[in-house]
Chains A and B, each alone.
Chain A
Amino acid sequence: GENVEQHPSTLSVQEGDSAVIKCTYSDSASNYFPWYKQELGKGPQLIIDIRSNVGEKKDQRIAVTLNKTAKHFSLHITETQPEDSAVYFCAASSGTGGGNKLTFGTGTQLKVEL
């Protein structure tokens, strides 16, 4: 089955700096890659996703890049703010067998310091 690895497990940046989180996946059939943000005591929230037919997608301060050949994808957050502090999860799905069953990475605890 699919295996998703995520690095780093913790990341501390100064406010205004950029943050980058990287994930690799094992199943070459995977073609959908979402990112979720989880704040303490809440369920994860979708922040951006990308499909395999594009290499990059941007939404304001957040961007995701995908390299299908190398089987890795990354989340980039620019001009970080204290409210960006949370746990971020990457995920991958191939959609095989019906449905959008996601395999998640183990999460990155991002801390934005003032």
Chain B
Amino acid sequence: GAGVSQSPSNKVTEKGKDVELRCDPISGHTALYWYRQRLGQGLEFLIYFQGNSAPDKSGLPSDRFSAERTGESVSTLTIQRTQQEDSAVYLCASSLGSGFYGYTFGSGTRLTVV
């Protein structure tokens, strides 16, 4: 596609529910990243996928967070048993490869846990 597409754009969920966020990267971009952006703060790394290699999960804040990506296609980020501190904008980015390539970000999913 022309850009990175994320859905939904907004999600309001009750505390304790599970949510699934979707990212559709640019075709041909082998690298895919998830970041979390809390209000007024910088971006916090969550997870990185490169082709069929094992993902770098070092940024996931707890075992309630998981993500999947099949090959170089769509990725989903799942948050189980959501807590209020999970409220944030979740941003997905893709890039050409594992080197120092610039990211193309999606517009993000704004998650609100009530």
Contact = CB atoms under 8 A, between A and B. Distances in A.
Interface string B65-107: 0000000000000000000000000010101001111111111
B100 A102 contact: no
B108 interface: yes
Contacts of B98: 98-100
18 contacts: A32-B100, A36-B105, A41-B107, A42-B107, A44-B43, A89-B43, A91-B43, A95-B100, A97-B56, A98-B50, A98-B56, A99-B56, A100-B100, A101-B48, A101-B59, A103-B45, A104-B44, A107-B41
Contacts of B1: none
B106 A100 contact: no
Interface of B: 4, 31, 33, 35, 40-45, 48, 50, 53, 56, 59, 91, 93, 95, 98-108
Contacts of A51: 100
A107 B42 contact: yes
Contacts of A36: 103, 105
Contacts of B42: 4, 6, 89, 104-107
Interface of A: 4, 6, 31-32, 34, 36, 41-46, 49, 51, 89, 91, 93, 95, 97-107
B4 A43 contact: yes
B106 A43 contact: yes
A50 to B, nearest CB: 10
Given A91-B43, A101-B56, A102-B45, 17 more contacts: A6-B42, A42-B107, A43-B91, A43-B93, A43-B108, A45-B105, A46-B103, A51-B100, A98-B56, A99-B50, A100-B98, A102-B103, A104-B35, A104-B43, A106-B41, A107-B41, A107-B42
B31 A99 contact: yes
Contacts of B56: 97-99, 101
B91 A100 contact: no
